[in-house]
């Protein structure tokens, strides 16, 4: 199978500190790839380089066959991204937010309505398109962000912590939308998450980064076998010696996640 994303010897230095240390990996077209690591491991720095926000110190990135450093426009047209931070205009309707994004991405005017409808239908928001975003729930906002990232027909979707801050039911609904996008539309998904059980449930392949190096990669089964563990969470702990969810998380994230764990138990 072809690789939609291919990364070779990718390195990022901030002055004399090396945040990403020559990592290499491939993402197969049509797969779900989870990029995991404790806080400060280098995930955000890597995603920023993959999405052309940050210039690598050295290394190669090919997205959809394009050199992400030399063919930036083509590379950018090939991916959609949902960052952790909300970037919707709350004072506009869902539909207006979609139009705004379609214009920025230069979707031809004639195509706009059709593509917006398709994207909103995928996340189950077409019937709610006239609603103001400020009146949307957290889960609806996240679904709208995913729909928005699809409007220029990307080949690969980057999702940075797509379910953080959402309750368990909403998290399930987000995952089912992501899975159907992958299975039914063949969209490649590259995601980060702090929820090991969610990564285990959805990802075809996983890479674990720590201190700027990829310390393990493969399918969940391969990783569990090699680490002689029963779950991805256990494998992660064994490999990094840390709990992904509690290690130096910003206080607000810890609170959200601990709250969720309590709710999960109740």
Ligand X SMILES: Nc1ncnc2c1ncn2[C@@H]1O[C@H](COP(=O)(O)OP(=O)(O)OP(=O)(O)O)[C@@H](O)[C@H]1O
Which residue in 86, 182, 102, 202 sits closest to 139, CA to CA? 86
CB atoms within 10 A of CB 241: 10
Residue from 5, 33, 43, 200 touching ligand X (CB under 6 A): that is 43
Least distance to ligand X from the beta carbon of 208, Å? 11
CA-CA-CA-CA torsion sign (165, 169, 171, 174):
negative
Least distance to ligand X from the beta carbon of 230, Å? 25
The C-alpha atoms of residue 76 and residue 46 are separated, in whole angstroms, by 15
Nearer to ligand X, 63 or 208 (CB): 208
SS3 state at 104: helix
Residue from 31, 45, 93, 193 touching ligand X (CB under 6 A): that is 45
Least distance to ligand X from the beta carbon of 235, Å? 18
Residue from 3, 6, 11, 39 touching ligand X (CB under 6 A): that is 39
Least distance to ligand X from the beta carbon of 239, Å? 15
Residue from 4, 5, 37, 163 touching ligand X (CB under 6 A): that is 37
Q: Does 44 engage in binding with ligand X (CB under 6 A)?
A: yes
The CB-side HSE value for 152 (13 A sphere, CA atoms) comes to 21
Q: Which helix (H) or strand (E) holds 117?
A: helix 109-122
CB atoms within 10 A of CB 102: 21
Q: Does 41 engage in binding with ligand X (CB under 6 A)?
A: yes
Q: Does 14 engage in binding with ligand X (CB under 6 A)?
A: yes
Residue ranges in contact with ligand X by CB under 6 A: 14, 17, 19, 37, 39-45
């Amino acid at each position: 199978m072809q690789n939609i994303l291919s990364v070779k010897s990718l390195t990022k230095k901030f002055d004399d500190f090396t945040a990403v240390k020559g990592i290499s990996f491939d993402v197969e077209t049509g797969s779900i790839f989870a990029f995991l690591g404790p806080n400060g491991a280098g995930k955000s720095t890597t995603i920023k380089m993959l999405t052309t926000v940050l210039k690598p110190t050295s290394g190669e990135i090919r997205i959809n066959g394009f050199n992400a450093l030399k063919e930036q426009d083509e590379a950018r047209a090939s991916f959609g991204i949902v960052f952790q931070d909300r970037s919707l205009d709350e004072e506009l309707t869902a539909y207006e937010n979609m139009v705004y994004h379609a214009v920025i991405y230069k979707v031809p005017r004639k195509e706009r309505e059709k593509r917006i409808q398709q994207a909103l239908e995928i996340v189950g928001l077409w019937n709610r398109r006239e609603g103001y975003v400020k009146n949307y729930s957290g889960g609806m906002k996240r679904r709208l962000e995913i729909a928005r990232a699809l409007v220029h027909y990307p080949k690969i979707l980057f999702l940075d912590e797509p379910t953080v801050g959402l309750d368990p039911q909403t998290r399930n609904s987000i995952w089912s939308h992501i899975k159907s996008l992958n299975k039914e539309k063949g969209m490649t998904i590259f995601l980060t998450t702090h929820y090991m059980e969610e990564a285990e449930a959805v990802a075809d392949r996983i890479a674990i980064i720590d201190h700027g190096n990829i310390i393990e990669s493969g399918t969940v089964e391969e990783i569990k076998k090699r680490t002689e563990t029963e779950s991805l969470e256990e494998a992660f702990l064994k490999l990094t010696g840390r709990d992904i969810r509690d290690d130096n998380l910003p206080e607000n994230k810890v609170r959200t996640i601990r709250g969720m764990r309590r709710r999960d138990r109740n």
